[in-house]
Amino acid sequence: MSSGLTRRSTITAGAIAAFASLLGSRLAFADEKAVEAEIKKLYGDKKLGEGKIKLDVPEIAENGLVVPVNVEVESPMTEADYVKAVHIYADGNPLPGIVSYTFTPACGKASAATRMRLAQTQNIICVAEMSNGSLHMAKANIKVTIGGCGG
């Protein structure tokens, strides 16, 4: 086999190609402040409360290109009390906005699921706007790793 082991047979693809391209990219990434600015655009300086939001994401992304995100907001979803909107942001992608959903009482429940691309390990921030104008926020960190080296 040593005839096959020339210098030429080599600098193709390789283990860390995807990783190298990740590092090599010189895109500007969003940060926490960019997410805060997006929220401010919609809601000004309104207080963000805790609770009510169940944000279900993996601790570690199995594939950073299609990371599942499930969100459910606790609400009776009646005319008097319902979830108006849910926004999902990421603080380590080129742009902070991932998706926004709007709801009406006719939706029955305020839940949504989608997949998102994550460039690197970062926080996912979810903001829910209730019909009484109050806001809730939830946050989760998702690790994006190069993988390999299983036991």
Partner 1 sequence: MISRREFLQATAAAAAIATASGLGPLGRAAAQQKLSQADILRFDPLGTVTLLYVTDIHAQLMPLHFREPSVNLGVGPAKGQPPHLVDAEFRAHFKIAAGSADAFALTSDDFTSLAKTYGRMGGLDRVATLAKAIRAERGDDKVLLLDGGDTWQGSWSSLQSKGQDMVEVMSALKTDAMVGHWEFTLGAERVKEIAESASFAFLAQNIRDKEWNEPVFPPRKVFERGGVKIAVIGQALPRTAIANPRWMFPDWEFGIREEEIQKQVEEARAEGAAIVVLLSHDGFDVDKKLASRVKGLDIILTAHTHDAMPGMIRVGDTVLVASGSHGKFLSRLDIAVKDGKVSDIRFKLMPVFSDAIAPDAEMAALIRKVREPYAADLAREIGRTESLLYRRGNFNGSFDDLICDAMLSQRDAEIALSPGFRWGGSLLPGDAITWEAITNATAITYPNCYRMEMTGAQLKEILEDVADNIFHPDPYFQGGGDMVRVGGMGYAIDVGKPMGSRISGLTHLKSGQPIEAAKKYVVSGWASVNEGTQGPPIWDVVRDHVAATKTITIKPNDAVKVTGA
CA distance 85 to 80: 15
Window 118-147: contact mask with partner 1 (x via CB under 8 A): -------------------------x-xxx
Q: Tell the burial category of 65 from Cβ atoms under 10 Å away from its Cβ (0-12, 13-18, 19+).
A: exposed
CA distance 15 to 36: 37
For residue 101, the minimal CB distance to partner 1 (Å) is 19
Host H or E run for residue 37: helix 32-43
Q: Does 21 bind partner 1 (CB under 8 A)?
A: no
- Collapsing DSSP to helix, strand or coil, 23 comes out as helix
- How many other CB atoms are found less than 10 A from the CB of residue 89? 26
Residues that bind partner 1 (rule: CB under 8 A) add up to a total of 33
**CB-based contacts of 120: which residues, under 8 Å, 6+ apart?**
22, 29, 64, 92, 144
For residue 105, the minimal CB distance to partner 1 (Å) is 27
For residue 63, the minimal CB distance to partner 1 (Å) is 6
Window 24-63: contact mask with partner 1 (x via CB under 8 A): ----------------------------------xxx-xx
Q: Does 80 bind partner 1 (CB under 8 A)?
A: no
Q: Does 10 bind partner 1 (CB under 8 A)?
A: yes
For residue 121, the minimal CB distance to partner 1 (Å) is 8
Q: Does 15 bind partner 1 (CB under 8 A)?
A: yes
CA distance 37 to 62: 30
Q: Which residues contribute to the site for partner 1 (CB under 8 A)?
A: 1-2, 4-5, 7, 9-20, 23, 58-60, 62-63, 66, 68, 143, 145-151
